[in-house]
Amino acid sequence: MSNDRSYLARLQEYYATHRVLPSYASIGQLLGLKSKSSVAAMVARLKLAGFIDSTPDKRLAPTRRFFERPLAESPVQAGLPNPIDDGQGDALTIDDYLIEHPSQTVLVRVKGDSMIDAGILEGDLVVIEKAAAAKRGDIVIAIVDGQFTLKRLDLEQGSFVLRPENKAYPVIRPEGTLEIFGVMVGLVRKL
């Protein structure tokens, strides 16, 4: 299976670029496997391990497990240095980690800087759960007079307000309707 890990990693790289898995013949070329039987045996092992499957028209397709990433068994120190393992613990998908209710969850790209003091930067993707009940202190996407905004939900004198996390912006005190589109449950940032 050690070679299969390497083969899987190369197939994951291919999929990230092409958004499709290669044909059997292309797999042989990509992985340097000389015979069709070697390719078939490797594909069978990856199918058995649950990483890939075949579609009704016999094409290879990634399964949910294909997108798992290694999860290090020990956490990394944010203080003094500490040894870390090489990530050979359990595996985890980003979806499993961030998304509890897939049918009610959307990713929304952030535009603007009104939430920078909460660590939310322009270009970040916020993970929004639409079915979650919002409570005071939650970061929410709210709809105010037909406009969407990402702010912290707060309470002032018995009324809900939307508080930015940047002192350069004013608190929004809705005069009309205030609707909560969803609650932020995570954040994705590409460095």
Give pLDDT tens digits for 3-56: 888 899 899 989 988 989 999 889 999 999 989 999 999 999 999 999 999 999
* pLDDT value at 84 more than 70: no
DSSP result, 100-133: S-GGGEEEEE--SSTTGGGT--TT-EEEEETTSP
Answer yes or no: CATH 2.10.109.10 is held by domain 102-188. Answer: yes
Rounded to an integer, the average pLDDT of 80-93 is 65
- Return the active site residues: 114, 151
What would the CATH number be for the domain defined by 2-67? 1.10.10.10
Distance of alpha carbon 83 from the chain centroid: 27
The pLDDT score that the predictor gives to residue 75 is 66
Domain ranges, ordered by start, for the chain: 2-67, 102-188
pLDDT at 142: 93
Residue 59 in 3-state DSSP?
coil
| Whether the predicted pLDDT of 120 surpasses 90 | yes
pLDDT at 74 over 70: no
